[in-house]
Structure 1
Amino acid sequence: MKRRSLTSPALAGLLASVLVACSGGVDGTGDKGKAIVIGTTARIAVTEDTPAPFDPAASYDLNSWNLMRNTFQTLLRPPRSGTEPVGDAAEKCGFADNRDDEYRCELRDGLTFSNGHELSAEDVAFSVRRLLRINSRSGPASLLSNVDTVEADGGRRVVFYLKKPDATFPYKLATPAAAIVDSETYPADRLVKSFKGTTSGPYVIDDFDTRKHRVLLSRNPDYQGGSEPKNNKVELRFFGSAESLQKAMDSGDVDMMNRGLSSRYIERLESDQDSRIRLVEQPGQGVQYLVFDTKDKTVGRQAVRQAFAQVVDRKQLVGDVYERTAEPLYSLVPGGLLGHKNSFFNEYGEPDVKAAKRTLRKADVKTPVKITLHYAQVGRGGSAANEFAVLKKQLNESGLFEATVKGEPPTSYSSASLQGKYQVYGFGWLPDFPDADNFIAPFLEKENVLNTAYSNKEIRDELIPRTRREPDRADASDSFARAQDIVAGDVPVLPLWQGKSFVAAHDDITGVEWALNSSSLLQLWELGRGVSS
């Protein structure tokens, strides 16, 4: 999806296994020559939705961004702790004269690309102009669409002039959307489909082996930035199923698991105190929504969407499908972020079929309402299929709906949803940056990632601009709350659950507490190998 979305309810498998674990109690410098192997059930491939998965102008999914975060540089990057971005390629950045519409960055000395070319301010300006010019449907151009012009002022200074004030702009520069590419090797008006790009980040790709399903990364000796890699090699190894990945973890073939932790496996690790595999739970900001096609003759009716919201039982859904790996969500903005408000619960309370029946009757909607729910089908069965089976059962048992469910090919799921082919569909979202803005604006602005016809003038013209004029994000909370209340009343999307992060790692892996940033992207440079306990 246009955005770092995970376009299916399979997001649970992703959220429930985002990387983390305990360390072995040393400084992480032991055996730096041996690659740290990270196992995942993810895939990186050329598909209809990802035509150029290693081009920053075209990729907006977690799998590609995990590679880009570690190979491309950005001016800023997420911090070890907290939320305020810190310097990477930039030595310093800031708004000019307390203005939130002009942003300046000064580059570090001695920056070079992996091909030996110098990295200059013109490369930064070129990269942003290229992103916006190509404006790939599958890419993240929407994140930087507020840039009016960007100029290189000499070799080291770059200046961004924004169309409107935006206090969140530094956060956006810390995402792979702002990855810096070599202006001498990347074309200005077309995508690059190779997996071996010219980069300047902490790692370079040595090998992308589609036959053996692995990516080999090595430390970039010429990297000049804000981090210091604690290992020399990392291998990302892709598995076809959670079961095969868990077996590799148990046997020691994999050092850490990135996705694929089933609830049963989590329970086993928690109960086995003698295991050398450690499990850590962290708060998650990944969420799962249902999206309605508001142009559809059926779900385009507000009363139908409101009745749907009154019938769905989130607690049962989470309990039956995701057990301990998720919790019910009653808002666009997940818990734990400034601005979160349980607007859907305040509006509808606990599931109430009688209230839903009154809503439909008042709007003169005939029942049962026929609707079709769509999800991305990854393999047979799995959490996505189970989730939508539960939703179908809840709707149909109410007597108010006649719901059917269809699993769709994951390779075209995002593009089909953007084209309005689905009446109701599952949509997973991981934040680009840890701010309530990133759970509201991407869905409700004019150029939104859902390509939805839904529009609310107050949100677009008043609330979003107002929140972006607040340098102190706490001062934006009231406006965020108002936007969530409007969405709860109109129901263009329906929040279902918020995921938790569980990750397993062998106890000789160090630095894992820093290996995942606030946007759930891997920071491989933090990992080291110590001594097993």
Structure 2
Amino acid sequence: MNRKTLVLPAVAGLLAPALAACGASDSGSNSGDAIVVGTTDRFTATKDAPAPLDPAYSYDVGTWNILRQTVQTLMIQPKGEGEPVPEAAQSCGFTDTGNERFACKLRSGLKFANGDAITAEDVKFSIERARTIKADSGVFALLSTIDTIETQGDNEVIFHLKTADATFPFKLSTPVAGIVNPDDYEKDKLRDGFAVDGSGPYTLEAKTDGDEMTKAVFTKNPNYKGTLSVNNDEVDMVSYKDADDMGTALEKGDIDLMTRTMSPEQIKKLSDASADGDIDLVEISGLEIRYLAFNTTAPTVKTKAVRQAMAQVIDRAQLVSEVYGSQAEPLYSLVPASLTGHSNSFINTYGEPDKAKAKALLADADVSTPVKLTLNYTTDHYGPATKQEFETLQKQLNASGLFDVAIEGTPWETFVPAERKGEYAVFGMGWFPDFPDADSFVAPFLDKDNFLKSPYANSDIITNLIPASRREADRLSAAKTLTKIQDIVAEDVPVLPLWQGKQYVAANNDVTGSAYVLNSSATLQLWELGHGSSN
């Protein structure tokens, strides 16, 4: 089968094509009107996580992409990236010079999908609910700068912040700030299962097999009012057990488009193929990062020198070359290279991989070698190359003679509860930003109530540096403070950045809108898709 590759520029705002839109989906591209999208994301309701789609709990890229289609937020990231714009709100903005009072007026006639009118009290209820429940996912921390929420009449919501936060409009664009119907959600309890009731561009019907959602049927919401143009009537998102099954489904025409997570081999095959054919590969600038995280109280890695020695030994360039090729690049900081505020703090601190320097770090701290460690990773969340990635890390560390490393893979539904309970000393994770700003790569890892449940706490970062960075409305002015944070991380190594990656979508070329179906934060924008010619 012939294929062609479309490579999009890093700045999405430079994209020029006008993408036509037609109707939408039900099975494959050869029958019905529904557009069918494949994913390897798995959606399960377990004893440890019974409410995967509750906005007060959800905090991973897969479930957020369900909520982005169904639950409306006051603000939204625009199609061409940039600063967030009003969505459920007609207007929003800071009303003081100190960025501590943020007011929004709702759109006239705003309704939930069932026809119930949305009021300012519903917005207040939804956001206060997430703050009250404080789910163990840690997503509530995105709302940590809110002090109180005030309503004026039915259409105005005013947020009084504890401290200046120039990133607050971005946070109001995330699903944790999604507006839910108080008739369907209890104030102080999560909603179990897969039902979602909101006012977004689609309604959701979940097709399940036991405790797993196997298909998400998104149907255009006739009561939706917002900024989005919905180019289809239905999109079905089908979960596949692995990338190979998903790829086969695309080639057979059972699905129209596949997104995360494809294997490096699939991407290379699609990229290398001829420009003539019936499948398009779209490369999209992304902000995904991958890293190792440490339980800094675990005996094996409690000593900072152990973590520093790992940072000194690991060869990111070799890791990327062997596992991901041109689909990723080495990362030397928590903040990706394409964002304002990035600093190569790890390479500035450690230079090139050096076994002798690592040995000296351990010797100076009286650490006996080889240090015995287990690297834990998830087998079914970040793509099929994850195992190879950890095998490569294992080889690098063991080859130094300073470490005796084992690796252990665990399914996501088991991995996440174990990580949150502190059962792993070292574990691999990926991060897709909440929004495209350096704050989203700093605060979730290092602030109070961080989502990793990390025992690491640096008082200067928490008390001074993060608040100082948020006071800067001009994000260039925050760069100096953000660099200080990244330098502290490189010194203390509570997390060890490995690489940042690109994003890919493969679609039958009678699907329009595939160039816009993902933004840089890995947000699915299914409303962009339609049937027609993509050429």
Partners of 1:118 and 1:25 lie apart in 2 by 34
Give me the whole-angstrom Cα distance separating, in 1, the residues matched to 2:350 and 2:111.
56
1:531 to 524, 530, 533: 533
Partner of 1:462: 464
Alignment deviations for residues 327-348 of structure 1 (CA, whole Å, 9 cap, x no partner): 1111010110000011101111
Equivalents in 2 of 1:219, 1:486: separation in Å?
A: 47
Q: Distance in 2 between matches of 1:304 and 1:532?
A: 52
Which amino acid counterpart does residue 269 of structure 2 have in structure 1? R
- The CA deviation at 1:47 is 2.4
* C-alpha distance 240-260 of structure 1, shift in aligned 2 (>3 A): same
Which residue identity does 1:237 align to in structure 2?
A: V
Q: Which amino acid aligns with 2:267?
A: I
Q: What is the SS of the residue equivalent to 1:141?
A: helix
How far is the alpha carbon of 1:30 from its aligned partner?
5.7
Unaligned segments of structure 1, at least 5 residues? 1-19
Residue 183, structure 1, aligned to residue 182, structure 2: yes
List per-residue Cα deviations over 1:131-189 (Å, max 9, x = no partner): 11111112511111221111221100001111111110100000101000112332111
The secondary structure found in structure 2 opposite 1:280 is strand
Deviation at 1:513, TM superposition (A): 2.3
Deviation at 1:239?
A: 1.1
- 1:331 and 1:221 map into 2 onto residues whose CA distance is 44
Q: What residue in structure 2 maps to residue 7 of structure 1?
A: none
Letter in 2 for 1:342: N
Residue aligned with 1:224, SS: coil
The reply on whether 1:43 has 2:45 as its aligned counterpart is no
Shift of 1:325: 2.2
Cα distance between partner residues in 2 of 1:146 and 1:85: 18
Is residue 2:14 matched to residue 1:28? no
Q: Is the 8 A contact 1:31 1:530 kept in 2?
A: no
Partner SS, residue 386 of structure 2: helix
Q: Following TM superposition, by how much is the alpha carbon of 1:297 offset from its aligned partner in structure 2, in angstroms?
A: 2.4
Instruction: Classify 1:359/1:141 alpha carbon distance in 2 versus 1 (closer, same or farther; 3 Å).
Output: same
Paired residue for 1:279? 281
Deviation at 1:323?
A: 2.1
1:337–1:436 CA contact under 8 A, matched in 2: yes
Query: For the Cα contact (< 8 Å) 1:208–1:214, is it kept in 2?
Result: yes
Question: Is this contact kept in 2: 1:246–1:260, CA < 8 A?
Answer: no
Any residues of structure 2 matched to 1:126-145 within 5 Å, and which? Answer: 126-138=125-137, 140-145=139-144
In structure 1, C-alpha distance between the alignment counterparts of 2:23 and 2:67, rounded to whole Å? 26
Q: CA 1:441/1:360 → structure 2, altered by over 3 Å: closer, same or farther?
A: same
Provide, for residues 75-95 of structure 1, a one-character-per-residue CA deviation record: whole Å limited to 9, x for no partner: 011111132001110000011
Q: Amino acid of the residue matched to residue 347 of structure 2? A: F
1:57–1:130 contact (8 Å) kept in structure 2: yes
Q: Does structure 1 residue 265 correspond to structure 2 residue 258?
A: no
Structure 1 match to 2:29: none
Q: Aligned with 1:214: secondary structure?
A: strand
CA distance in 2, matches of 1:398, 1:261: 32
Partner-residue secondary structure (3-state), 1:148: strand
Name the residue aligned to 2:108. Answer: 109
Say which SS state the counterpart of residue 524 (structure 2) adopts: coil
In the TM superposition, what are the counterparts of 1:303-322 in structure 2 within 5 Å? Answer: 303-322=305-324
CA contact (8 A) 1:112 1:119 kept: yes
Q: Could you say which residue in structure 2 is the equivalent of 1:449?
A: 451
Alpha-carbon distance change, 242 to 76 in structure 1, aligned in 2, over 3 angstroms: same
Cα distance in 2 for residues equivalent to 1:378 and 1:343 = 31
The separation in 2 between residues aligned to 1:391 and 1:194, in whole angstroms, is 37
- Checking the alignment, whether the CA contact within 8 Å between 1:369 and 1:400 is kept in structure 2 is yes
Aligned AA (1:214)? K
Q: Matched residue of 1:234: which SS?
A: strand
Deviation at 1:207, TM superposition (A): 4.4
Shift of 1:321: 1.6
Q: 1:496 to 1:39 in 2, by over 3 A?
A: same
State the 1:31 CA deviation: 6.5
Indicate how the Cα distance of structure 1 residues 296 and 218 shifts in structure 2: closer, same or farther if over 3 A, else same: same
1:350 aligns with 2:343: no
1:519 aligns with 2:507: no
SS in 2 for 1:98: coil
Equivalent residues in 2 for 1:372-521 (5 A)? 372-378=374-380, 382-521=384-523
Give the aligned CA root-mean-square deviation in angstroms: 2.1
Determine the C-alpha separation between the residues in 1 that align with 2:47 and 2:323: 29
User: Letter of the aligned partner of 1:301 in structure 2?
Assistant: T
Shift of 1:24: 10
Match of 2:43, SS state, is: coil
* TM-score between both structures, scaled by the size of structure 2: 0.92
Contact 1:442–1:449 (CA under 8 A) maintained in structure 2 = yes
CA distance, structure 2, for counterparts of residue 300 and residue 235 of structure 1: 47
Higher relative contact order (CA 8 A, sep 6+): 1
Q: CA deviation at 1:443?
A: 1.0
Contact 1:26 1:531 in 2 (8 A): no
Contact in 1 for aligned 2:19/2:534 (Cα 8 Å): no
Give the secondary-structure state (helix, strand or coil) at the position aligned to 2:324: helix
Task: Flag structure 2 segments of 5+ consecutive residues without an equivalent.
Answer: 1-11, 26-31
Q: Which moved more, 1:521-530 or 1:264-273?
A: 264-273
Instruction: Tell me the secondary structure at the aligned position of residue 213 of structure 1.
Output: strand
Deviations 1:3-60 (A, max 9, x none): xxxxxxxxxxxxxxxxx9x999862226687111111111111025532122111111
Tell me the CA shift for residue 253 of structure 1.
1.6
1:241 & 1:184 partners in 2: Cα distance?
38
Q: Which moved more, 1:366-375 or 1:124-133?
A: 366-375
User: Could you tell me whether the CA contact under 8 Å between 1:195 and 1:208 is conserved in 2?
Assistant: no
Local SS of the residue matching 1:411: helix
Shift of 1:414: 1.7
